[in-house]
Structure 1
C-alpha cells in the first residue's frame, strides 16, 4: 500500500519537477549506439517485479520533505532518466568516448563528452566492476535566455538515485532542487564513523539481515571482509572479526547505529566508539581531478621521519590507494576528494587508518595520519612518478649459517628442519604474527601458490611471533589466524615479537613482520625478503609475485 504520493510544482506553477510521466514513442526506437549504458526501461521492468519500497527526500527553497512509498510507480520515479533520450542512434557521432581501467582497483569507467554545443546531455559517465554497473551519471545543461538550467542525475542500481538541478527564468524563477531516493531493502550501505579523537575515521559497510543476525561486509577498493554479527539477549549485535583478536559490538537505534570496536592486542581496555548512518547517494563529481599518481611521502611524528610511496587512483571524486613502505603497505584505502581536500581510510579487521591532506599543485600539505584513537602523525608529499623504495631483498642480512629450531605447531606437533618431510626441499620460512595484516596478505598469497609448487618440492613453514611469550592464549591467537586463513602448511609458535634474534640468531638487521627466508635444498639461505607489497599496491604486487615465483622455480630446478 502506498503511504504517500506527491509531486512538487516549481514556483509559478510552470514546471513539474517530480513524478513526471515518461514521454516517448517506443515505435520509433532505434538500436542503441552506445554499449555499457543502462537501459532504464529494463531497469523499470526489473524493479517492478521486486518488492522494494523507497525513501524519498526532497530539498528545495530551504525546505526538506521526506516520505516513504511502499509501492513505487517506477516509471514515474525514474522519469527523469527515461527522458534523457541519450542512447539513441542520432547521438552516435555526437560524443567523444573515453575509457579508463583501474590499476589499483578493478573498476572500468566510460565517459561520453558532447562534441556539439547543442547537445542536451553534456557529459555522461558509467562505472563498472566486473561488468556489473556500479553507477551512471549525467550532466545536463541548457541556456536559452531568459531560461537556464543545470541538472545532475546519478543512478546506483543497488541503492537508489539522486537528481539535483538549478533552473532560472529571469524575474520569475530562481530555484534549486535536490531529490534523493533510496531503496528500502535488507542490505543497507552505511558509513560508520569511528572516533579517532581529533577527527572521525569513516568506514563503509554493507549490513545484510540474516534472520536475527547480520552479515557485515566492509568494502575498500577490491577487498571485501565479511563477518557474521550475532544478536544477543539485550538487543545488541556482536561480530568477531576474522583472523584477528578484535570485536565489534553495536546496536541499531532507528536509522542510527552506535557501537564499540575492541582490539585485544592493545589491551582489554582499548576501545574505539563509532556511530553510523545510511550512506547518502552522492554524485561522482565528473570534474574532480588532481590526486591520481605516485607520490613521494614523508611521515612525521615528533623527531621521527619515515619514507613511503603514496599510490592513488581516482574515479570521479572517489579516491582509491595505499601507502607503500619498506616494511609493508597500508592495504586498501578508499575515500573522497572534495575541492582540494581529501581523505582515504581503511579497516582490515584490526587497524583503523585515516589519512587526510590538502592538494597544492604537485604537493600534498597539512597531511594528518591517524590509526585508531591511539596514534597520530603528520605527513607531506611531492608528486613523483618515479618514486622507488629500497630493494626488499637487501635490507635484512644473514651470517650464512644453517637455520635450526624445534618449535611447537598450532596442531600440537613439534617441528624441526631436520624432519624427514623437509629434507631435500626448498623451504620458505615465513616470519609472521597473528596480529599483522601484511602477514595475513602474505599468508593468503602463499596459500595460493602452495598447491602449484608443493608437489615439485616446496615447503612453507610459518614462524609466528606474538606480543607475549608462549602461553595458551598466544597459541590460541595463532591457531585462530591459521584456521581462519585455512593455511595448508605448518604454523609454529616461535616466541614473542622481541625474541626473533634468539630464535633466528643467523638473521641480522631484522626490521619487519613479515619477512621471508628462502632456503634451498641443501639448507642454505639464498634470499631474505623484507616486508610485503600486497594486492592493494597494483603493479608492485604483480612484480613481487612474478619475481617470487620465478625464484622459487629457480631453486626447485637446482
Structure 2
C-alpha cells in the first residue's frame, strides 16, 4: 500500500469511528450487580446472553435466590447496554468496559422527574454479599425459622407484629422473605456474616436491602431496611416458631347489606366489561384487584393465567381490575397490554382507576376498602361474593405459597360443584 494512501485511509477510519462510534460487545454469562444505596451496596445477579431470535438483542434475567426473573430484551448501542423493564417503568443503563458495567438504575413515575441510583456489575462473579459464601462458613449463628417482625420499630423491640420473617440458612447463605398482611417481600437472598444478617432483592420494581444484628441471648434481630431510591425504616424481629399474621380473609369484606360486587370498566380496546355481562352468568368468577406496576400481582398473575387456561372449560371466568398510576387510558392501556402479552393472559383486564387505595376503594363501593394489591374475590354461580383474600403469598414464600394454592383450588372446586 502507498504510505500516503495508508495514512489517509487511517485518518478516514479514525474519523468514521469518532463520528459514528463502534458497538461494544458484552461478555455473555453471569454478573454480580450492585446498586449504590444509602445503606451501602445492594447486590443481585444478572444473567446476560445473546438472544437466539435477534442477534442485536440480549436476554437478561435478574437473579434473586431461586428466582430467574426475565427482563425485557436488552440492546447495545455504541458502548452502552440498556436493559428495560417496561412494566415497572424502569431500566438499567451502563457503559461496557471489558468485564465491568457502570451506569445507573433509572425509575420513572407519573408527573415526577426520573429517580436514579448508581449501578455496577462485574462479569464472572457469583457471590452475593461476600466471597466467603462460596468457600467457608463465616456465620456464627443460624437464623433458619420464623421471626415475628416489627417494621418501623422505634425501640429495637418487637412492640407490634406487622410481618413474619421466614428464613432458610445453609452454611453462610440465607434465603427467605417477609410475609405481611398485604403480600410478601418476594425473593430475598443473602448471607449471614458472623452474627449479622444481609439480604437483598432487585426485580426492577422492588429495591430492598436488609441488614440486622442477631442477639443470641434474646433470640432477636435489630436492623434497618433501605427500600427504593431513598426509603429507610428500622425493624426488629423475635424468633417465634408460632408467629402468624391476621387472617387474610377478614381484612377486606363486603359492606353490610351488600352480597354482590358491582364493577363495570373499559378494556384498553374500549370494550366495557361488567360483572353483570352474560359471560359471567351462572359461572364461578374470580376477580383480581391488581396493577401492572405490582410485583406481587405479577406473581399472582403468573399462577392465574395458566390456571385459567386449564380450568375455564369447567364454567369459570376470571377478570382483572387493574388500578394503574395514571387514570388515562392512553397512558395505562399500553401497560395493561404489555402485561397481558408477557403473561399470555386470556381473560379481560380492565382499567378500574388509579392505584391510590382511597380512590380504588371509591371505585368499588361494595367493599369496606381496598387494603392491598393484589386482592382476590371469589364469586359463586349466583353472583354472590363468597370469599375475599387480601394480599398474595407468592412463590418466594415456599410452603405458604403451596398452602394458598391448595386452599384456592379447594374453594373453587366447592363453588363449581354447587
Q: How far off its partner does 1:301 sit?
A: 6.5
- DSSP 3-state at the match of 1:268: strand
Matched, 1:254 2:98: yes
1:530, 1:447 → 2: CA distance?
Answer: 19
CA deviation vs aligned residue, 1:151-171 (integer Å, no higher than 9, x gap): xxxxxxxxxxxxxxxxxxxxx
* Residue 452 to residue 207, structure 1, CA distance change in 2 (3 Å): closer
2:352, 2:79 → 1: CA distance?
Answer: 41
2:417, 2:205 → 1: CA distance?
Answer: 40
Residue number in structure 2 paired with 1:334: 189
1:438, 1:280 → 2: CA distance?
Answer: 26
Unaligned runs of 5+ in 2: 1-25
Matched, 1:196 2:41: no
Equivalent residue runs for 1:117-196 within 5 Å: 186-196=27-37
Matched, 1:542 2:398: no
**Residue among 361, 365, 369 paired with 1:509:** 369
- DSSP 3-state at the match of 1:386: coil
Q: Is the 8 A contact 2:64 2:189 kept in 1?
A: yes
As a proportion of its length, which structure holds more helix?
2
As a proportion of its length, which structure holds more strand?
1
CA deviation vs aligned residue, 1:305-364 (integer Å, no higher than 9, x gap): 761111111222111110100100000010111111221111122111111111211534
Residue number in structure 2 paired with 1:294: 146
* Residue 301 to residue 340, structure 1, CA distance change in 2 (3 Å): closer
2:305, 2:284 → 1: CA distance?
Answer: 16
Q: How far off its partner does 1:280 sit?
A: 5.8
Equivalent residue runs for 1:453-472 within 5 Å: 453-472=311-330
Task: State the TM-score, normalizing by the size of structure 1.
Answer: 0.64
Q: How far off its partner does 1:538 sit?
A: 1.1
Equivalent residue runs for 1:408-423 within 5 Å: 408-423=266-281
Aligned length: 373
**Residue among 94, 113, 122 paired with 1:277:** 122
Unaligned runs of 5+ in 1: 1-184
Larger radius of gyration: 1
Residue number in structure 2 paired with 1:427: 285
2:135, 2:416 → 1: CA distance?
Answer: 50
* Residue 286 to residue 226, structure 1, CA distance change in 2 (3 Å): same
Q: CA RMSD in A?
A: 2.2
Q: Is the 8 A contact 1:246 1:264 kept in 2?
A: yes
More relative contact order in 1 or in 2 (CA 8 Å, sep 6+)? 2
Q: Is the 8 A contact 2:300 2:394 kept in 1?
A: yes
Task: State the TM-score, normalizing by the size of structure 2.
Answer: 0.84
Residue number in structure 2 paired with 1:214: 58
Q: Is the 8 A contact 1:435 1:466 kept in 2?
A: yes
2:204, 2:245 → 1: CA distance?
Answer: 27
2:253, 2:346 → 1: CA distance?
Answer: 28
**Residue among 366, 372, 389 paired with 1:529:** 389
1:280, 1:501 → 2: CA distance?
Answer: 44
**Residue among 62, 65, 70 paired with 1:226:** 70
Residue number in structure 2 paired with 1:381: 237
1:496, 1:302 → 2: CA distance?
Answer: 32
- DSSP 3-state at the match of 1:424: coil
Residue number in structure 2 paired with 1:27: none
Residue number in structure 2 paired with 1:363: 219
Q: Is the 8 A contact 1:262 1:272 kept in 2?
A: yes
1:301, 1:468 → 2: CA distance?
Answer: 33
Residue number in structure 2 paired with 1:162: none
1:340, 1:216 → 2: CA distance?
Answer: 34
2:100, 2:160 → 1: CA distance?
Answer: 40
Residue number in structure 1 paired with 2:251: 395
**321-330 vs 255-264, which moves further:** 255-264
Q: How far off its partner does 1:542 sit?
A: 0.9
1:380, 1:275 → 2: CA distance?
Answer: 30
Residue number in structure 2 paired with 1:244: 88
User: After TM superposition, what 4+ stretches of structure 1 lie above 4 angstroms from structure 2?
Assistant: 209-212, 301-306
Q: Is the 8 A contact 1:272 1:372 kept in 2?
A: no
